[in-house]
Structure 1
Amino acid sequence: MAPAPSPSPQPARPPASTAGSARLRVSVLLPMPFPGPFDYAAPAEMALQPGDIVTVPLGHRRQTGVVWDSTSSLPPEFAPPPQRTVDAAKLRPVAERLELPPLTAELRRFVDWVAAYTLSAPGMVLAMTLRLHMRGVPTPSTGWLAASPQPDGLRLTPARQKVLSLLADGTARTTTDLATAAGVGPGVVKGLADAGALTPVPLGPERAFAAPDPLHNLPVLEGAQAEATDALRQTVAEGHFSVTLLEGVTGSGKTEIYLEAIAACLEQGKQALVLLPEIALSAQWMERFTRRFGTQPAIWHSEVGQRARRLTWHGTADGSATVVVGARSALFLPFKNLGLIIVDEEHEALFKQEEGVIYSARDMAVVRARLAGFPIVLVSATPSLESLANVEAGRYRHLVLPSRHGGAALPETRILDMRDHPPPRGLFLSPALTEELTATFERKEQAMLFLNRRGYAPLTLCRSCGHRMECPHCTAWLVEHRNRKILSCHFCDHTEPMPEACPSCGAEQSLTPIGPGIERITEEARHLFPDARILVMASDTLGGPAATAEAVGKISRREVDLVIGTQIVAKGWHFPHLTLVGIVDADLGLGGGDLRAGERTIQLLHQVAGRAGRASTPGRVLLQSYTPEHPVMQALLSGDFDAFMTQEAEQRRPGFWPPYGRLAALIVSADTAVAADDAAAALGRVAPYGEGIQVLGPAPAPMAILRGRHRRRLLLRTRKTIAVQPILRRWLGLVKLDRQVRVDVDIDPVSFL
Structure 2
Amino acid sequence: MHEPRRKSPPPNQPSGVAAAPRIRVLLPLPLTAGAYDYRLPPGLQARPGSFVVVPLGGREVVGVAWDGEPDPLLPARRLKDVRGVLDAPPMRESLRRFVDWVAAYTITPPGAVLRMAMSAPAALEPAPQKAGWQLAPEALREGVRLTPARQRVLDHLQPGEVRSGTDLAEAAGVSAGVVRGLADAGLLVPGLLPRGAAFPLPDPEHPGPTLGPDQAAAAEALRAKVMSGQFGVTLLTGVTGSGKTEVYLDAVAECLRQGRQALVLLPEIALSAQWLERFRRRFGVDPALWHSELSSRTRRDTWRAVAEGAAPVLVGARSALFLPYPDLGLVVVDEEHETAFKQEEGVIYHARDMAVVRARFAAAACVLVSATPSLETLTNAETGRYDHLHLAERHGSAGLPAVEAIDLRKDPPERGRFLSPPLIEAVKDTLARGEQAMLFLNRRGYAPLTLCRSCGHRMRCPNCTAWLVEHRAQRRLQCHHCGHAEPIPAQCPECKALGSLTPVGPGVERVLEEVQQLFPDARRIVMASDTIPGPAAAAAAAEAIATRQVDLIIGTQIVAKGWHFPHLTLVGVVDADLGLAGGDLRAAERTLQLLHQVSGRAGRAEAPGKVLLQTFSPDHPVMRALVSGDVAAFMAEEAAGRRPGHWPPFGRLAALIVSSEDEREADRAARDLGLSAPRAEGVEVLGPAPAPLALLRGRHRRRLLLKARRDVPVQPLLRDWLHRVELPNSVRVQVDVDPVGFL
Aligned to 2:651: 661
Aligned to 1:142: 131
Q: CA RMSD in A?
A: 1.9
- 1:616-643: CA deviation from partner (whole Å, max 9, x where unpaired): 1111101111111100000000011111
- 1:102-142: CA deviation from partner (whole Å, max 9, x where unpaired): 10011000000000000001001000011334354222233
**2:155 corresponds to which of 165, 168, 171:** 165
In structure 1, what residue type is equivalent to 2:195? P
- 1:385-433: CA deviation from partner (whole Å, max 9, x where unpaired): 0100001110000000000000210001111111111111111111111
Aligned to 1:125: 113
**1:409 corresponds to which of 381, 384, 399:** 399
In structure 2, what residue type is equivalent to 1:329? S
Aligned to 1:59: 57
**1:98 corresponds to which of 86, 102, 106:** 86
Q: In percent, how many aligned pairs have the same letter?
A: 62
Superposed displacement of residue 370, structure 1: 1.0
Aligned to 1:322: 312
In structure 1, what residue type is equivalent to 2:424? T
Map 1:368-387 onto structure 2 (within 5 A): 368-387=358-377
The answer to whether 1:268 aligns with 2:258 is yes
Superposed displacement of residue 546, structure 1: 1.1
SS in 2 for 1:288: helix
**2:531 corresponds to which of 537, 541, 544:** 541
In structure 2, what residue type is equivalent to 1:34? L
Aligned to 2:167: 177
- 1:532-580: CA deviation from partner (whole Å, max 9, x where unpaired): 1111111111121111111111111111111111100000011111111
Aligned to 1:344: 334
**2:679 corresponds to which of 669, 672, 689:** 689
Superposed displacement of residue 152, structure 1: 7.5
Unaligned runs of 5+ in 1: 1-12, 72-81
Superposed displacement of residue 84, structure 1: 11
SS in 1 for 2:545: helix
The answer to whether 1:116 aligns with 2:114 is no
Q: Matches of 1:131 and 1:276 in 2, distance apart?
A: 19
Q: Matches of 1:48 and 1:126 in 2, distance apart?
A: 18
Superposed displacement of residue 487, structure 1: 0.5
Contact 1:578 1:613 in 2 (8 A): yes
Q: Matches of 1:412 and 1:184 in 2, distance apart?
A: 62
Q: Matches of 1:190 and 1:725 in 2, distance apart?
A: 66
Contact 2:87 2:125 in 1 (8 A): no
Map 1:563-712 onto structure 2 (within 5 A): 563-712=553-702
Contact 1:18 1:25 in 2 (8 A): no
In structure 1, what residue type is equivalent to 2:117? T
**2:220 corresponds to which of 226, 230, 239:** 230
Contact 1:668 1:712 in 2 (8 A): yes
In structure 2, what residue type is equivalent to 1:29? L
Aligned to 1:363: 353
**1:201 corresponds to which of 172, 188, 191:** 191
Unaligned runs of 5+ in 2: 14-18
Q: Matches of 1:448 and 1:181 in 2, distance apart?
A: 49
The answer to whether 1:459 aligns with 2:428 is no
Q: Matches of 1:279 and 1:595 in 2, distance apart?
A: 27
Aligned to 1:243: 233
Q: Matches of 1:674 and 1:85 in 2, distance apart?
A: 45
Superposed displacement of residue 297, structure 1: 0.8
Matched length: 729
Contact 1:671 1:709 in 2 (8 A): yes
SS in 2 for 1:704: strand
Contact 1:239 1:375 in 2 (8 A): yes
The answer to whether 1:528 aligns with 2:525 is no
Q: Matches of 1:169 and 1:555 in 2, distance apart?
A: 52
The answer to whether 1:444 aligns with 2:442 is no
In structure 1, what residue type is equivalent to 2:688? P
Q: Matches of 1:582 and 1:157 in 2, distance apart?
A: 70
Superposed displacement of residue 59, structure 1: 0.8
TM-score where L is the length of structure 1: 0.94
* Distance of aligned partners of 1:179 and 1:638 in 2 relative to their CA distance in 1, 3 Å threshold: farther
Aligned to 2:39: 41
- 1:436-475: CA deviation from partner (whole Å, max 9, x where unpaired): 1111111111111110000100000000111100000000
Contact 2:212 2:395 in 1 (8 A): no
Q: Matches of 2:8 and 2:539 in 1, distance apart?
A: 55
* Distance of aligned partners of 1:686 and 1:196 in 2 relative to their CA distance in 1, 3 Å threshold: same
Greater shift in the superposed pair: 295-304 or 82-91:
82-91
Superposed displacement of residue 496, structure 1: 0.6
**1:28 corresponds to which of 22, 25, 28:** 25
Q: Matches of 1:183 and 1:264 in 2, distance apart?
A: 42
Contact 1:33 1:121 in 2 (8 A): yes
Q: Matches of 2:312 and 2:443 in 1, distance apart?
A: 38
Contact 1:421 1:432 in 2 (8 A): yes
In structure 2, what residue type is equivalent to 1:645? M
- 1:197-253: CA deviation from partner (whole Å, max 9, x where unpaired): 323332333531111110011332121101001000011001111000000110011
Contact 1:139 1:206 in 2 (8 A): no
Contact 1:17 1:24 in 2 (8 A): no
Q: Matches of 2:693 and 2:359 in 1, distance apart?
A: 35
In structure 2, what residue type is equivalent to 1:42? L
* Distance of aligned partners of 1:667 and 1:183 in 2 relative to their CA distance in 1, 3 Å threshold: farther
Superposed displacement of residue 743, structure 1: 0.3
**1:497 corresponds to which of 487, 491, 500:** 487
**2:204 corresponds to which of 214, 219, 224:** 214
SS in 2 for 1:522: helix
In structure 2, what residue type is equivalent to 1:302? S
* Distance of aligned partners of 1:114 and 1:191 in 2 relative to their CA distance in 1, 3 Å threshold: farther
Greater shift in the superposed pair: 347-356 or 524-533:
524-533
* Distance of aligned partners of 1:40 and 1:464 in 2 relative to their CA distance in 1, 3 Å threshold: same
Contact 2:271 2:534 in 1 (8 A): no
Aligned to 2:16: none
Q: Matches of 1:226 and 1:63 in 2, distance apart?
A: 51
Superposed displacement of residue 523, structure 1: 1.1
Greater shift in the superposed pair: 717-726 or 430-439:
430-439
Aligned to 1:432: 422
SS in 2 for 1:406: coil
Q: Matches of 2:72 and 2:703 in 1, distance apart?
A: 33
Q: Matches of 2:72 and 2:448 in 1, distance apart?
A: 53
Q: Matches of 2:696 and 2:373 in 1, distance apart?
A: 31
* Distance of aligned partners of 1:180 and 1:416 in 2 relative to their CA distance in 1, 3 Å threshold: farther
* Distance of aligned partners of 1:508 and 1:401 in 2 relative to their CA distance in 1, 3 Å threshold: same
Q: Matches of 1:717 and 1:191 in 2, distance apart?
A: 76
SS in 2 for 1:144: strand
